[in-house]
Chain A
Amino acid sequence: MIPNKGSEASLIKKITSSIMIFILCFFMLFALTGCLGAREINDLEIVIGMGVDKDEDTGNILLTAQVVKKDTAGRTSGDASGGGDGKAFWNVSSTGDSIFDAVRQVTHKTGNRLFISHNQAVIFGNDIAQEGLQEYIDFFLRAHEMRPTALILVAEDRASDILDAKPETEKFPAMNIAKLVDTYGFTSHFYEVNMKDFASCLMSPTTAPLVPLVSIVQEKDCMDIYVSGMVAFKKGKMIGKLNHDEVRGLLWVLGKVKSGVLIVPSPDEQGKAVLEIVRVKSKVTPEIKDGSIVMHIKIKEESSLSEQTTAENLATDKAFEKIQEATAEVIRQEIMAAIDKSRELNADIFGFGEMLHKKYSSKWKTLKDNWDEIYPTIELDIDVETKIIKTDLLKKPVSQSEEEK
């Protein structure tokens, strides 16, 4: 009987010790959470946009971070206007020798580390862009909280001004900019570039990256932000600006045109036919012939007749044919504009160099070294095919011309 009692005692001992361990664990829970890197959500300074400028006085970096104000963020605008200045965000800025230095300097003002995982966009000021982004981009790729999907933009003047302009409908300027860039597909006048895309272009020895350019326009009583085009970089430095049509010319070649409006004169030359781009396919085939480089660009475009300003019924075979020809001409002009610009800047914004690299990898080694001389001499063979595939709700215009009645 004694050994049984002993085992009973040991069992009880075991059970009590396991209960003790459990209780200990429970209290450790609260002690441990602190040191294991737990951060309560209301202690976070959620950054949704960042601007990088040059401090005019010292030449240091001036970082502007757009932080969400938690007490007003979720409320309706009526509520928010009751207290404070009615803004849901707080633009906090600091200076530092490097970007990371500036990010940490911000803690003097916020009392908390910045939480930049939700950063939507990084805007570089004009002066920084001209100086070269290469040295500033490292932090945004390396920081573990930065996501490679964050947008990269260049401000026409200062980035902090862009972040200050409060939009009418959105609560946060940075979100507003992200939304503006995201809807590029309706015009194809620019395109969105995220950190990964930009890094990818930077790593290429020849391709010149493009970055959307944001500008401010002063309306009656508010500031409006809009994307005015794109800027081209070469070796990390900003070298020039492309306007909307030039960017679309580039996108035609790359096959990235999603949609957009094409305006061509109507066949009777009385008005205009307005087309919406529906579908675009493009193919670029590089060819090296007798030492000269030819890029064969083949574009197939489909569009719909969305508006017309003439009395002539454009929904006829004959009219279609003429419009299609005119459309092709417009597209060709846009492409030529982009090519002229790129030759002017001597920057390979199309990525022709990479295309040659992929097809003629052996010859590429010799081409690569004097690409700057070769690039302007590249010949182009542009072939545009267009097609109107629908006329939307109308078969005929409202105000028809005399002979058709």
Chain B
Amino acid sequence: MSIERGKINSQQLLFLIAGFVQGSILLIDFTVGITEHQTWMVILAGLAISAPVILSYVALAKRFPGMNLVQINDMVYGRFLGKAVSMYYIFFFVMTLSFNIRDVGELYVTFLMQDTPFIFFLVVFAATCAYAVTKGIEVLGRVSHLFVVTGLFVIISTFILLIDQMDFSNFLPLFELPFIRIFQGIHIVSIIPFGETVAFLMIMGRLNKTEHAVKRTFFGLSIGALSLLVVAVRNTAVLGRTQTIWTSPSFQSIRLINIGTVLTRMDFLIGIAQTVLIFFKCSLFLYVLVVAVSQLFGLKSYLPLVLPLAGIEVIVAATVFQSPVDHAMITQNAGIIYSVPLVFIFPPLSLLIAKIRGLPKFERGKET
């Protein structure tokens, strides 16, 4: 018996993943500081590295149909070790979600509404996410394509509006930075937008048909990666050398839009896009977190946990970091280290163990 009854189809999975990856659009802003004008290739390399791992997530989900990550862990690693692994995942979800919620607050406090208290944004944003989560995965899946379309619209329209200010010689020389910085960039990119899709192991069990899951997952990832790529190319081409000094290169490049002095001051476009996309990502993450926790404690319904956990997230987001600088440093350094095993090691390992022990067959026999 599962705690979620809603079902999603594989087309919705595509948009869920695409929207989830697009939700990391702010990430580019702090990768740029490391990889400068080579960010675009870092994104592609990150996708190339994480794609096989993500496909192993799909394989795992296919092997354990109808089950979520916590259930899989329990089955693969046994009762106690499985719970420990799940706890580790829940810690990861808590931290990542708080990073993302904080991003929204910082976005608004820095750019749009400087005089408003930071905590206000966190509370209202988390409350809205909580409202979305109470509607269940089915509703999130149903609206996913709207978020992706909004994101694509803003990304493409800003690209077109800025095309006359682009200088593509900003990408030259192609290879200049020391390899260690590129490696660091690839590491960040492969974990933060792409590796975080490990959260989808909590969702993929709700697929009604797993036939096209691999293809759709990959397609969704590609849409997300393409969005990030377009943003990176736009920022580098427009801002050139200066992109490394701004807090948010995306924001500054949008502020440069000036078409015939009429189409100008378009900051709201990026404000809307980033809020909406991070909202989608945070709602998914909150959903995943809530379901994981309720599964861990064997609750019948996850609804009672939504508000308390959202509240905890707000507190974590507001207290763990002291400043945006602190936030960026923790995410860049600690964040990507502790999530390596969760993203790159556990899922393939689970798949391997499941294969050796022949687990899903045993379980299927038990269920039927």
Contact = CB atoms under 8 A, between A and B. Distances in A.
Interface of A: 35-37, 39, 141, 144, 147-149, 196, 199-200, 203-204, 357-359, 361
12 contacts: A36-B117, A141-B245, A148-B255, A149-B256, A149-B264, A196-B242, A196-B252, A200-B239, A200-B240, A200-B242, A358-B169, A361-B175
B110 A203 contact: no
Interface of B: 110-111, 113-117, 120, 169, 172-173, 175-176, 239-242, 245, 252, 255-256, 258, 264-265
B111 A144 contact: yes
Contact of A359 (B115, B117, B172, B252): B172
B113 A36 contact: yes
A199 B244 CA distance: 11
Contact of B110 (A144, A196, A358): A144
A196 B235 CA distance: 13
A199 B242 contact: yes
B120 A144 contact: no
B242 A149 contact: no
B33 to A, nearest CB: 14
B115 A37 contact: yes
Contacts of B252: 148, 196
A203 B36 CA distance: 13
Contact of A36 (B116, B240, B241, B265): B116
Contact of B173 (A141, A147, A357): A357
Contact of A148 (B120, B240, B256): B256
Given A37-B116, A144-B114, A147-B255, 16 more contacts: A35-B117, A36-B115, A36-B116, A37-B115, A39-B115, A148-B252, A148-B256, A149-B256, A149-B264, A200-B240, A357-B173, A358-B169, A358-B173, A361-B172, A361-B175, A361-B176
B245 A203 contact: yes
The interface residues of chain A, by DSSP majority, are classed as helix
A203 B241 contact: yes
A199 B245 contact: yes
B102 to A, nearest CB: 18
Contacts of B120: 36
B239 A196 contact: yes
The 10 closest A-B pairs by CB, nearest first: A37-B115, A361-B173, A358-B172, A37-B116, A36-B116, A203-B241, A200-B242, A199-B242, A200-B241, A200-B240
Contacts of B117: 35-36
B41 to A, nearest CB: 15
A254 B240 CA distance: 17
A223 B172 CA distance: 47
A359 B174 CA distance: 10
Contacts of A203: 241-242, 245
Contacts of A358: 169, 172-173
Nearest to A194: B256
B179 to A, nearest CB: 15
A37 B245 contact: no
A149 B252 CA distance: 10
Contacts of B113: 36-37
Contacts of A204: 241
A285 to B, nearest CB: 12
A149 B115 CA distance: 23
A36 B118 CA distance: 10
Contacts of B114: 37, 144
A235 to B, nearest CB: 16
Contacts of B245: 141, 199, 203
B323 to A, nearest CB: 15
A141 B246 CA distance: 9
A39 B264 CA distance: 22
Contacts of A148: 252, 255-256
Contacts of B264: 149
A316 B117 CA distance: 73
A127 B122 CA distance: 47
A389 B147 CA distance: 51
B37 to A, nearest CB: 10
B172 A149 contact: no
A49 B289 CA distance: 51
Contacts of A200: 239-242
Contacts of B256: 148-149, 196
B227 to A, nearest CB: 23
Contact of B255 (A35, A37, A149, A359): A149
Contacts of A359: 172-173
A82 B149 CA distance: 55
Nearest to A201: B241
A74 B338 CA distance: 60
B261 to A, nearest CB: 8
B220 to A, nearest CB: 34
B267 to A, nearest CB: 9
A18 to B, nearest CB: 15
- Which of A35, A200, A361 neighbours the largest number of chain B CB atoms within 10 Å of its CB? A200
Contacts of A357: 173
Contacts of A196: 239, 242, 252, 256
Nearest to B173: A361
Contacts of B169: 358
Contacts of A199: 242, 245
B21 to A, nearest CB: 28
A43 to B, nearest CB: 13
Contacts of A147: 255, 265
Nearest to B111: A144
A299 to B, nearest CB: 18
Contacts of A144: 110-111, 114
A39 B116 CA distance: 11
- Which of A36, A39, A359 neighbours the largest number of chain B CB atoms within 10 Å of its CB? A36
B107 to A, nearest CB: 12
Contacts of B241: 200, 203-204
A44 B172 CA distance: 44
A35 B113 CA distance: 12
A37 B252 CA distance: 22
A357 B171 CA distance: 12
A116 B265 CA distance: 14
B139 to A, nearest CB: 23
A149 B258 contact: yes
Contacts of B116: 36-37
B36 to A, nearest CB: 11
A148 B254 CA distance: 10
A36 B124 CA distance: 13
B132 to A, nearest CB: 20
- Which of B240, B264, B265 neighbours the largest number of chain A CB atoms within 10 Å of its CB? B240
